[in-house]
Structure 1
């Protein structure tokens, strides 16, 4: 196995399937190992290129194998799927990973650091808490509506809930259920505030995050997510590549030399895309108080395009600005931002 130059690993929870091949692409070995056996195997194996699909456990394994002296590359699963031959099994998947990694034009995913993974986990916890709080509010709305009490939509109903329960004669057991939901709603709000404070503290110690806060419409939540996902930004060739990675560029269906551009592709991380669109809408809501080249560009777009189209176009430009600030170690002045067509 000394002539092995490329090893593909099909990751699992407890078992890992390896496919090794030489520089000519000829298969050298196939092995099935546990997690402990895998680390012990690569600790004594000569330095080579190790390729895995980018998934939940790949970043930790990439850091561990890199520390053992190997070159680790991660591939998006969608680029591996076309290389699967015949019936699918774990060894065939590992071979397909090697085949995909051998392509000269293949694009790879940069492994995340521990801090990036931790910050990403914190944001996912916050999203789940926000969803739970919305569910509790919607349940209160639904239960009250079943008993003929209609309240305005939104979280404001929770502030008025004690007064509503005092005004209407509702069954005691229903009142107890609503009070329990009210307590749960307040608990979730406190947890969200605590997570926001923790994100703010982490962002205060991050130079990249502070630069991202200078982008018009971007707040602490979006800035911290961008700082965790972009990293150093070197995995993207240009700012458009990053915007394309989060699905903010037009989807193309062209043939016969005729270009046909559709709506945004909606590929990549939908959480970042949603936050950037929300930042764009927040900027557009305060457009009357904004000035500079960015505001002029948005006003000109609104005269000939729907506001939803303008929001996506502005989110695209905000993503490009985020890449520029990350890679060029600079800040921007929202009054003089140059926004190319």
Structure 2
């Protein structure tokens, strides 16, 4: 069956990429658990009429202790939950520091982070997912590989496009979308890519513009990797 062409060659990632991928997923696991932990604390206090409201990471524990100061039973429960939250935060800080050390010493990731909106997590996630840029003949194929292209519905005379496919690596896709969101919504640095995204947002919607910019980011980052070039800020440079 293999010789007859029923199966295609599967890319096996390098050991380094697999290890770095484990670092990313472990960090993301702790980020999600920390958020769930805080939501559980908020939910446990709500039936007692105690609302936490907005509280920063550093001020969250102080706010909880303030709310349950005159409720001994609740204080006992909250101290146990806050202690486990502290452990999660400590371990998350260790993994994040390790991630930053890796990215700081990686020339490719440093080049990726020159793009507005692209941070350490996005740069490393993209590198470990693609692993070897030469396995994609065209840079445009990377967007499809990460599920950032619309689904195609074809039957007879019907030919319509749906939502994005969401195939491939979900962590990298979400990281690219987050980078596009930062570029379009928060970054004050103007680039040809941002201008292109803003034009789409005016014509269609901001959400569609973010997906389009995320797909374009994947294409640009792959081309930067293949060519060994830096990010081109203006249309003239591109």
Deviation at 1:107, TM superposition (A): 4.2
Task: Identify the residue that residue 266 of structure 1 maps to in structure 2.
Answer: 166
**Aligned length in residues:** 236
* Whole-Å separation in 2 of the counterparts to 1:117 and 1:328: 24
Deviation at 1:293, TM superposition (A): 1.5
TM-score, with length taken from structure 1 = 0.64
**2:164 is the alignment partner of 1:239:** no
TM-score, with length taken from structure 2 = 0.90
Task: Identify the residue that residue 124 of structure 1 maps to in structure 2.
Answer: 25
* Whole-Å separation in 1 of the counterparts to 2:186 and 2:237: 18
Structure 1 gap ranges (5+): 1-98
* Whole-Å separation in 1 of the counterparts to 2:123 and 2:179: 10
Deviation at 1:275, TM superposition (A): 0.8
Local SS of the residue matching 1:234: helix
Root-mean-square deviation (CA, aligned residues, Å) is 2.2
Q: Which has the higher strand share?
A: 1
The 5-angstrom pairing of residues 132-281 of structure 1 reads: 132-152=33-53, 156=57, 157-166=60-69, 169-170=70-71, 172-256=72-156, 259-281=159-181
* Aligned mate of 1:306, from 182, 193, 205: 205
8 Å CA contact 1:222, 1:275 repeated in 2: yes
8 Å CA contact 1:293, 1:339 repeated in 2: no
Local SS of the residue matching 2:134: coil
* Whole-Å separation in 2 of the counterparts to 1:319 and 1:246: 9
* Whole-Å separation in 2 of the counterparts to 1:329 and 1:108: 27
1:223-271 Cα offsets, whole Å, 9 max, x none, are 1111111122111121121111110011111233653221111111111
Q: Which moved more, 1:204-213 or 1:270-279?
A: 204-213
After superposition, the Cα gap between the structure-2 partners of 1:330 and 1:279, relative to the gap in structure 1 and judged at 3 Å, is same
Local SS of the residue matching 1:218: coil
Q: Which has the higher helix share?
A: 2
8 Å CA contact 1:137, 1:154 repeated in 2: no
After superposition, the Cα gap between the structure-2 partners of 1:178 and 1:116, relative to the gap in structure 1 and judged at 3 Å, is same
Larger radius of gyration: 1
Deviation at 1:318, TM superposition (A): 0.7
* Whole-Å separation in 2 of the counterparts to 1:274 and 1:118: 20
